[in-house]
């Protein structure tokens, strides 16, 4: 069943086409990753799904309903730019935010106490958020996002700015929510997080969705065109290779994407001449590699230079 249906949405700010004709579907009970570099249009898309912005064209439906104040209540949203009122006490603050999501005061109180206990945060209940440490207020932020028990969870760059403990905790929460049948959409520009967690992905670049689908299928469709090489010795022979792209290179490791259908055995021979091989494995490309080959390396470099 489709939970979030995005169809041909466009959003322009002045001259800038932030989102240009994007469509995708998020299925029930799955973890959906929106990927892409900064400025690709992920946040704008997420804001439109949350009915914070309205698309210029196209439509968004949540559980079959057009995005509206009603659908807002079905979603727990943690924005990239997130924060809390510093001068408000933890409990008052959570009560306020969950009541805005349509909960009654009584139900809100119960939910808040349950989550505070789960996060071992019940002691902070009467403290002002300004007095809490950064890690503590991040936990409060999670509670504010999930306490009203919605069916859909949207996290925009959820791991940015999180300390490692909270980062792991959030991963656990996301997996737990999924196991409870909830639907999760999150955006990130860090590909490795997606590899670990996502069922489905949608790749954004310059306001367009350039690649989407089931993560495993997407990877499989690229074939085993990458070599995972571990060696001992002088790695400078790698520079002599032509028609390859080197990802993730270090002193005794390299991920070699083979282009133009070149024979992999030639690479192995060359490697054996110069070093002692510990491992030679044909694998599916990493998501990062998929992204690069989809968008085009030159394209990406030009883009990165623009940003810098």
Partner 1 sequence: MDFSKILLVLKREYLTRAKSKSFILSTVLTPLVLIAFGALMFWIVSSDTETQKSVGVYDTTGLLVEDFIQADSTRYSDVSNLPVDTVRAMVLRKEIDAYLLLEEKHIETNESSELIYSSNLGLAFTGSVRSDLRQIIQEERLQRANVSDEIKELFSRRPTLNSRKLTEDGKEEDDKAGFMSGVGFVLGLLIFMGLFGYGAVLMRSVIEEKTNRIVEVITSSLKPIELLIGKVAGVCLLGFTQFAIWIVMYVGISLAAVPVAGLLMQDQISEMASSAEMEQVAAEAGFDPASLEVLSIDPMIFVYFFFFFVLGFFMYAALFAAVGSAVDSEQDTQQFMPILMIPLMLAYFLNTRIMVDPDSSLAVFASLFPLTSPINMITRIATTDVPIWQIGTSLVLLIGSFFGVMWVSAKIYRVGILMYGKKASFGDFAKWIRQS
User: Are the C-beta atoms of 294 and 282 separated by less than 8 Å?
Assistant: no
Taking CB under 8 A as the binding criterion, the range among 25-33, 47-55, 251-259, 276-284 that sits at the site for partner 1 is 47-55
Q: How far is the CB of 160 from partner 1 (least distance, A)?
A: 13
Interstrand relation of 152-156 and 75-78 (parallel, antiparallel or unpaired)? parallel
Report the residue number, 84 or 202, with the smaller CB distance to partner 1.
84
Answer for which of 24, 32, 77, 124 binds partner 1 (CB under 8 A) is: 77
Report the residue number, 85 or 282, with the smaller CB distance to partner 1.
85
Euclidean distance between CA atoms 245 and 103, whole angstroms = 53
x-or-dash string of contact with partner 1, 50-69, rule CB under 8 A: xxxx---------------x
| H or E stretch covering 267 | helix 264-274
Report the residue number, 87 or 126, with the smaller CB distance to partner 1.
87
x-or-dash string of contact with partner 1, 227-256, rule CB under 8 A: ------------------------------
Answer for which of 45, 72, 212, 275 binds partner 1 (CB under 8 A) is: 72
| Interacting positions 9-28 with partner 1 (CB under 8 A) | 13-14
Report the residue number, 14 or 164, with the smaller CB distance to partner 1.
14
Inter-axis angle of helices 90-100 and 134-146, nearest 10:
30
Euclidean distance between CA atoms 291 and 306, whole angstroms = 18
Answer for which of 83, 164, 181, 261 binds partner 1 (CB under 8 A) is: 83
133 binds partner 1 (CB under 8 A): no
User: Are the C-beta atoms of 139 and 90 separated by less than 8 Å?
Assistant: no
Report the residue number, 85 or 114, with the smaller CB distance to partner 1.
85
Q: In the structure encoding, which two tokens stand for residue 90, read together?
A: 């933890």
75 closest CA partner among 99, 104, 49 = 49
DSSP letter assigned to residue 2: E
Euclidean distance between CA atoms 305 and 308, whole angstroms = 5
Tokens 């995708």: give the residue: 24
33 closest CA partner among 171, 181, 221 = 171
Report the residue number, 68 or 299, with the smaller CB distance to partner 1.
68
Number of residues in contact with partner 1, rule: CB under 8 A?
28
| Interacting positions 143-162 with partner 1 (CB under 8 A) | 144
Q: How many residues does the chain have?
A: 308
Euclidean distance between CA atoms 100 and 183, whole angstroms = 21
Answer for which of 34, 35, 67, 84 binds partner 1 (CB under 8 A) is: 84
Binding site for partner 1 (CB under 8 A): 13-14, 47, 50-53, 69, 72-73, 75, 77-79, 81-88, 96-97, 99-101, 144
């Amino acid at each position: 069943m489709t939970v979030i249906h995005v169809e041909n949405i466009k959003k322009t700010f002045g001259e800038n086409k932030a989102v240009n004709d994007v469509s995708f579907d998020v299925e029930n009970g799955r973890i959906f990753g929106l990927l892409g570099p900064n400025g690709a249009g992920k946040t704008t898309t997420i804001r439109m799904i949350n009915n914070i912005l309205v698309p210029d064209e196209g439509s968004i439906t949540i559980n079959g309903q057009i995005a509206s104040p009603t659908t807002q209540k079905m979603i727990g949203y943690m924005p990239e730019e997130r924060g809390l009122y510093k001068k408000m006490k933890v409990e008052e603050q959570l009560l306020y935010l969950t009541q805005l999501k349509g909960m009654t005061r009584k139900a809100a109180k119960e939910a808040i106490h349950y989550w505070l206990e789960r996060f071992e945060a019940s002691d902070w209940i009467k403290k002002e958020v300004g007095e809490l440490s950064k890690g503590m207020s991040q936990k409060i932020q999670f509670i504010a996002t999930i306490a009203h028990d919605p069916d859909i969870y949207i996290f925009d760059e959820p791991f940015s700015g999180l300390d490692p403990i909270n980062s792991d905790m959030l991963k656990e929460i996301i997996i737990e929510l999924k196991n409870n049948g909830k639907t999760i959409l999150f955006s990130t520009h860090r590909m490795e997080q997606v590899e670990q967690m996502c069922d489905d992905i949608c790749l954004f670049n310059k306001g367009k969705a350039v690649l989407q689908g089931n993560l495993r299928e997407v990877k499989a469709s690229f074939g085993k065109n990458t070599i995972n090489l571990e060696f001992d010795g002088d790695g400078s022979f790698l520079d002599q290779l032509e028609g390859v792209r080197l990802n993730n290179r270090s002193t005794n490791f390299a991920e070699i994407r083979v282009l133009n259908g070149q024979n992999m055995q030639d690479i192995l021979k060359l490697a054996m001449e110069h070093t002692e091989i510990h491992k030679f494995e044909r694998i599916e490309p990493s998501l990062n590699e998929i992204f690069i080959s989809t968008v085009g390396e030159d394209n990406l470099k030009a883009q990165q230079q623009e940003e810098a």
